[in-house]
Structure 1
Amino acid sequence: MRKKTRQIHVGNVAIGGDAPISVQSMTTTYTRDVESTVAQIERLQDVGCELIRVAVPEMEDAVVLSEIKKRIKIPLIADVHYNPELALEAIRQGIDKVRINPGNLLQGRKSLEKIVLAAKERDIAMRIGVNSGSIDALDKAAQMQRVQVRLRDDGTLERSDPAEARRLEREHLAERMVTRALEYISWCEELDYHNIDVSLKSSTVLTAVEAYRRFSERSDYPLHLGITEAGTLVTGAVKSSVGLSMLLADGIGDTLRVSLSAEPEEEIPVAFEILRSLELRNRGVTFVSCPSCGRVEIDVISVANEVEKRLSKVQTPIQVAVMGCVVNGPGESRDADVGLAGGKGKGVIFRKGQVVRTVPENQFLDAVLKEVASLLPEAEAKVVYPEGGIKDTAGTHRTRDEGMNIPMLPRA
């Protein structure tokens, strides 16, 4: 059961309560470059981003926020550190939410109170962000813990337990994060301001999980989940999936961001896949594809990747399967809304469990996308399957007899 937290609103997006768990990201552009920033936000909107955060490190970035806001369709969040005047200007510009870490604001509580009063006056939400690194994380946390052995007086050996030492250290750090977050919240509550959500991030998965769990036991403010500085596309996706899933499966979390050292558009599919896998959201394509193995006689990797890429902007719930052998292919393809079971230069196309037709390998892409488009609203269908059909092909022909890949020729 998901914990029911108090609900806040960021623009037209509800966070907490019984609202769906929302997905957000952050731009990588210089915010003062309005054209580039808006263009990136539009790309994020296309793949399903529901809230967007922009960095505001200097006043030149703050004063353009109203221009950005009026050109985008999703709520705008300003990310501010150190200088409270940047947060105050962002609020004047009409943003929907400000993200601050009270611990690094110049003049600390005094600055926070100014920001709270301005946000309260304009009915703007605030995220209080506490990162493990921002509260003086222990230096030895990043060092390798070694097994140490000492001889007791009775002649027996005593071994240290590095895992236990790390656990105790993790719990101590998580408790400090939670204590600090609750202190910041109390400052806001003294001003009768409650339009808050909270994040307690760490680049160490288990530290973040411990902090979020402890906070959830002691407060009903909504939680923004994230594993900060998680890493590159693969590393970051794995760490985020592990950490966020542990929390979400416990019913903890109201909004989230998957932080990757990659284009922000890559973060959104990962986030939605986590939510779909836990049956917490039903939005976009649930994609099923088989691993490439010695039974496969089509280049399933290339075909699957190309189909998934072309469906990245679909937000209608739909399941698509791309399978490459006779063992699991027909069953998985029948279970999907649209499925391909390929082999030996041809494949069977399924739609809602029924065989539609058999097509040659160089028509896989066209056939799958055409069937998907037939199940989508008109606007999405045109993006997936444009007028004139799909002329491109994907993959190479595999044959065990020849023991090699033969590049497919383009269709005439």
Structure 2
Amino acid sequence: MSEYKRFKTKQISVGGVKIGGDAPISVQSMLFTKTQDIQGCLEQLMQLKFAGADIVRLACLDIKDARALRQIKEQSPLPLIVDIHFNHNLALYCAEFIDGIRINPGNIGGKENIKAVVDACKQRKIPIRIGVNHGSLEKQFEIKHGRSVEALIQSALYNIKLLEDLDYTEIKISIKTSDVQSTIEAYTKLRNLCEYPFHLGVTEAGTKFHSTIKSSIALGNLLLNGIGDTLRVSMTGELCEEIKVAKAILQDSGVQKSGVNIISCPTCGRIQSDLLSAIKIVEEKTKDIKAPLNISVMGCAVNALGEAKGADVAIAFGKNEGLVIKRGEIVAKCKYDKLVDRFLEEVKIEAALWENK
């Protein structure tokens, strides 16, 4: 297996979360509750915290949103980024308390407005995310290049230069489309043209099923090629599922180990146990484990012993009984009704050992 190498990028901080450099790849989401609904936003923030999110973004459409956001920030369990378009005064207000600002400098209203926002961000070293999106390209780039990858790249470079000319480099970049191939191409081509950390995502990716597929292909491809410092899996109306899928992409790509990796066999006629029920129990009981363990739950002896050699803890089901195996060594032989509980005991022991290292 080849060694994973990530592009070295400038490191910035969003609240207490570092992005870029050698920092872990962070996972983000965005609230869909209206920002003026302070209690609703706080409830969603707690859900995201328990799901494992690192950073959360909120929309800010007007001054009422901005004032509500100040109150939300005072109670938020996670760093917050404000999403602002067209009205630079909202960015100036939020810069007093927020952890990061997402703007498109091209639609914020001229160089004087951009300079005002940058000056406000400089006071607290607040990072700015330049968000380039297929659906909101500046006219000059769309006229010259059409709705192409080149248009996206030129927009990103233009907006980066706007901030660099104002001597501001606390920047991260997103360059999103709703198409998998163009998303991969845009991020890949831009990666060699700047040093700033990248926020990965497929925008407007759709419902849970379609978003999972699109994001897994695009983000997985980029991550395996060393591209990406923070990411969001965008889903229609699925808040915590965004985090679950994002973490699975990091885990299953092998880029960033966190939590258990469950190896289980496809069901077939050789199985002599209720493998599906066993897997559901194992998934539920191990979902909060942070240790990067490989655990194997196999339904028959054909592949079970071979898989167990590469697993930290494994089950090999047989007829009415099975084996619990740790790193290739049998540690228990149990009747079916005791097997999963015995297996989970060993998983918890391994997780505790990892946490106490």
Which residue does the alignment assign to 1:157?
A: none
Q: CA deviation at 1:181?
A: 1.2
Q: Which deviates the most, 215-224 or 301-310?
A: 301-310
TM-score for the superposition, normalised by structure 2: 0.88
**More helix, by proportion:** 2
Q: Structure 1 residues 194-203 or 236-245, which shifts more?
A: 236-245
Counterpart of 1:130 in 2: which secondary structure?
Answer: strand
Gaps of 5+ in 1: 138-168, 382-412
- Equivalent residue for 2:290? 315
1:235 and 2:215 correspond = no
**CA contact 1:329–1:341 (8 Å) conserved in 2:** yes
- Larger mean Cα displacement after TM superposition, 13-22 or 107-116: 107-116
1:220 aligns with 2:195: yes
Deviation at 1:175, TM superposition (A): 0.8
Q: CA separation in 1, counterparts of 2:51 and 2:205?
A: 21
Task: Map 1:251-330 onto structure 2 (within 5 A).
Answer: 251-330=226-305
Residue 168 (structure 2) pairs with residue 133 (structure 1): no
Partner of 1:10: 14
Query: Corresponding residue for 1:122?
Result: 124
- The counterpart of 1:34, out of the listed 22, 33, 38, is 38
For residues 219-251 of structure 1, the C-alpha deviation after alignment (integer angstroms, 9 at most, x for no partner) is 111111111112222221121111112222222
8 Å CA contact retained: 2:296, 2:313: yes
Q: What are the within-5 Å matches in structure 2 for residues 1-400 of structure 1? A: 1-92=5-96, 94-105=97-108, 107-135=109-137, 173-377=148-352
Q: 1:77 is paired with a residue of what secondary structure?
A: strand
Q: 1:257 to 1:297 in 2, by over 3 A?
A: same
Q: Look up the equivalent residue of 1:295 and give its one-letter code.
A: R
Q: Secondary structure at the match of 2:330?
A: strand
8 A contact 2:28–2:53 mirrored in 1: yes
Change in CA separation of 1:136 and 1:9 when aligned onto 2, cut-off 3 Å: closer
Q: 2: CA distance between counterparts of 1:225 and 1:102? A: 19
**Which range moves more in the overlay, 52-61 or 321-330?**
52-61
Q: Encode CA deviations 1:320-340: one digit per residue, 9 max, x unaligned.
A: 222112111222234222222
> Could you list the per-position Cα deviations for residues 183-218 of structure 1 after superposition, in whole angstroms to 9, with x for gaps in the alignment?
111111121111000000001011111111221121
Letter paired with 1:113: K
> Structure 1's 330 and 108: CA in aligned 2 closer, same or farther, altered over 3 A?
farther
Query: Gaps spanning 5+ residues in structure 2: where?
Result: 140-144
- The one-letter amino acid paired with 2:158 is E
Distance 1:36 1:315, change over 3 A: farther
Change (3 A) 1:180 1:339: same
Q: Secondary structure at the match of 1:301?
A: helix
Deviation sequence 1:309-362 (CA, Å, 0-9, x none): 332222222222221121112222342222222233333222343323233444
| Distance verdict in 2 for CA 1:48–1:296, change over 3 Å | same
Tell me the CA shift for residue 300 of structure 1. 2.3
Contact 1:103 1:134 in 2 (8 A): no
How does the TM-score come out when normalised to structure 1?
Answer: 0.77
Identity of aligned residues (%): 42
Paired residues of 1:197 and 1:224 also in contact (CA < 8 A): yes
Number of residue equivalences: 346
CA RMSD in angstroms comes to 2.5
